[in-house]
């Protein structure tokens, strides 16, 4: 079994990012000037504050609000060295303050992002020299904004960062990269819009307010964080409720603890392997968490030998459907997984078969490093599930887990 090494891909990506930043010195039209040390320190302070106040996506992934400060520095024409230094100092100070060094690679990501955004701004300046200049007030400079760098940096934040985030989560599943990138952009556009708008606002008023620009950037970011965090907290509470419900059958003692979580994790990987869209993937995970819920309703019959997977699936679907109408498709997936080989409706067929297959894998619990047990698992799944695409996807995930690829 060949183990895929993705390091060359990321090395090429790093070289590409370095080359983009290097264009700042090569392209005409950029702002070639030395950035004052005080400006770097002030921007780095603002970056540190925003690093400590990340805006979280509903799935819990932190979106660095510091990108607003870094983007503003790039738009006003700071060099890649200065912008990278701002990003790196901001991350380092924040991590020293909260003593959270669990992801040390975050420093490299910030340095690369600052360097690259400055180069992207230079490309925008080269492509268009158009500028917006406001009215001059007594005692103040006019607000001014270079439109080329603004458009380029805004596109990089709104489209590029979610795309890189999505690619980083592919785990080698390049076949559906376009879909994952589109979904990442669609699910983060509100956060990206808040960050981009703040970066543009900071660059616009910087000629007028100077060092007082930074408080004007922090206030809208704080407001956006409060509003978006409420939505994220509610969404995470919903997911945690699903996970808590999945543990109810475990307290009956008829299934192993953590069964629902393990099945959901495996189902998520299989769904990604098959290229399921984000909505179906979310319903698949919820169904995988709750697929044993029927045991709560029919445990007495089970103890007398009555019932089976079909009965448990039907009972579980009834419990889910009665609990909330928002889980209607989840209930239908749970019901269909009881007899996965049947021709169920298209919108639940594949998800139901994935849940059934992953449940069987977890219950069978083969030693994945023993080829005989892996082969036996495949035979069992072909016999019980009957969907070769699903079985092949499960087999590939098992191989990756066995050999660490």
> What is the DSSP code string of 98-119?
HT--S-THHHHHHHHHHHHHHH
Tens-binned pLDDT, residue by residue, of the chain (405 aa): 344 445 666 678 788 889 999 999 888 755 556 678 888 999 999 899 888 877 766 654 556 788 999 999 999 999 999 999 999 999 999 988 887 777 778 888 899 999 999 999 999 999 998 988 877 666 667 788 899 999 999 999 999 888 888 887 776 667 778 888 888 888 888 888 888 998 998 898 888 888 778 887 887 777 777 767 776 676 777 777 787 777 878 777 677 888 888 999 999 999 988 988 888 898 999 999 988 888 877 765 544 444 577 888 888 888 888 777 678 888 899 988 888 888 788 888 999 999 999 998 888 876 767 777 778 888 888 888 888 999 999 888 888 877 665
Residues 224 and 267 in one domain: no
On whether residue 339 sits in a domain, the answer given is yes
Residues 314 and 350 in one domain: yes
Q: Which residues pair with 62 in a beta bridge?
A: 56
pTM attached to this predicted model: 0.76
pLDDT single digits (tens) 170-221: 766 677 788 888 888 888 888 888 889 989 988 988 888 887 788 878 877 7
How far apart CA 318 and CA 337 sit, in angstroms, is 14
Eight-state DSSP code of residue 56: E
Residues 125 and 178 in one domain: yes
H/E element, 131: strand 131-133
On whether residue 11 sits in a domain, the answer given is yes
Residue 4 tokens, joined? 């895929």
Range of the domain at 152: 7-234
Residues 252 and 225 in one domain: no
On whether residue 252 sits in a domain, the answer given is yes
φ, ψ (nearest 5 deg) of residue 159? -110, -45
On whether residue 242 sits in a domain, the answer given is no
> Which residue, 35, 73, 69, is CA-closest to 52?
69
On whether residue 209 sits in a domain, the answer given is yes
Residue by residue, DSSP assigns 316-365 as HHHHHHHH-GGGHHHHHHHHHTTSTTS---HHHHHHHHHHHHHHHHHHH-
> Which residue, 322, 327, 326, is CA-closest to 288?
327
How far apart CA 172 and CA 128 sit, in angstroms, is 37
Residues 286 and 199 in one domain: no
On whether residue 256 sits in a domain, the answer given is yes
* CATH code of the domain covering residue 366: 1.10.3210.10
Mark which of 234, 256, 274 sits at the end of a domain: 234
The total of structural domains in the chain comes to 2
Residues 45 and 170 in one domain: yes
Residues 337 and 189 in one domain: no
């Amino acid at each position: 079994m060949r183990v895929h090494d993705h390091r060359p891909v990321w090395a090429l990506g790093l070289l590409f990012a370095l080359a983009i930043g290097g264009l700042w010195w090569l392209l005409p039209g950029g702002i070639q000037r030395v950035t004052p040390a005080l400006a770097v320190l002030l921007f780095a302070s603002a970056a540190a504050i925003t690093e400590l106040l990340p805006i979280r996506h509903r799935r819990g992934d932190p979106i660095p609000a510091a990108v607003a400060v870094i983007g503003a520095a790039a738009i006003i024409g700071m060099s890649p060295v200065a912008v990278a230094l701002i990003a790196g100092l901001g991350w380092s100070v924040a991590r020293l303050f909260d003593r959270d060094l669990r992801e040390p690679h975050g420093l490299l990501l910030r340095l690369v992002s600052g360097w690259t955004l400055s180069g992207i701004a230079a490309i925008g300046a080269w492509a268009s020299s158009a500028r917006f200049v406001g009215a001059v007030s007594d005692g103040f400079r006019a607000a001014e904004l270079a439109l080329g760098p603004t458009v380029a940096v805004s596109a990089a934040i709104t489209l590029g960062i979610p795309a890189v985030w999505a690619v980083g989560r592919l785990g080698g599943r390049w076949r559906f990269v376009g879909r994952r990138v589109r979904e990442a952009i669609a699910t983060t556009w509100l956060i990206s819009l808040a960050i981009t708008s703040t970066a543009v606002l900071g660059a616009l008023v910087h000629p007028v307010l100077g060092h007082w620009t930074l408080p004007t950037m922090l206030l809208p970011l704080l407001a956006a964080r409060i509003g978006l965090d409420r939505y994220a907290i509610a969404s995470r509470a919903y997911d945690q409720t699903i996970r808590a419900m999945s543990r109810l059958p475990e307290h009956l003692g008829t299934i192993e603890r953590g069964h629902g979580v393990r099945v959901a994790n495996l189902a998520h990987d299989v769904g990604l392997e098959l290229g399921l869209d984000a909505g179906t993937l979310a319903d698949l995970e919820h169904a995988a968490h709750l697929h044993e819920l029927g045991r709560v309703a029919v445990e007495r019959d089970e103890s007398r030998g009555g019932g089976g997977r079909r009965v448990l699936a039907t009972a579980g679907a009834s419990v889910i459907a009665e609990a909330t109408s928002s889980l209607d498709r989840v209930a239908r997936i749970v019901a269909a997984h009881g007899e996965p080989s049947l021709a169920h409706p298209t919108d639940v067929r594949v998800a139901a078969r994935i849940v059934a297959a992953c449940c069987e894998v977890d219950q069978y619990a083969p030693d994945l490093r023993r080829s005989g047990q892996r082969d036996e698992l495949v035979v069992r799944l072909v016999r019980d599930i009957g969907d070769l695409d699903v079985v092949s996807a499960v087999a590939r995930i098992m191989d990756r887990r066995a050999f660490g690829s």
